[in-house]
Amino acid sequence: MTYARNKSIGNYGERLAADHLRSLGMVVLAQQWTCRFGEIDIVARDGSTLVICEVKTRTSTRYGGPFEAVTGHKAARLRRLASAWLEAHDVHPPAVRIDVVSVVVPPAGAPRVERIAGVA
Question: Is 103 in contact with 16 (CB distance < 8 Å)?
Answer: yes
User: Mean pLDDT throughout 17-31?
Assistant: 97
Catalogue all structural domains in the chain, each as residue range(s) with its CATH number: 3-116 (3.40.1350.10)
Angle at 104 between CA 34 and CA 3, to 5 degrees: 50
pLDDT for res 1: 55
Contact 80, 37 (CB under 8 A): yes
> Do residues 83 and 93 make contact, with C-beta atoms less than 8 angstroms apart?
no
Residues recorded for the chain: 120
Q: Which residues are bridge partners to 99 per DSSP?
A: 53
Comparing 107 with 69, the larger pLDDT belongs to: 107
Q: What is the pLDDT of residues 41-93, one digit of tens each?
A: 999 999 999 999 999 998 877 777 767 777 778 889 999 999 999 999 998 99
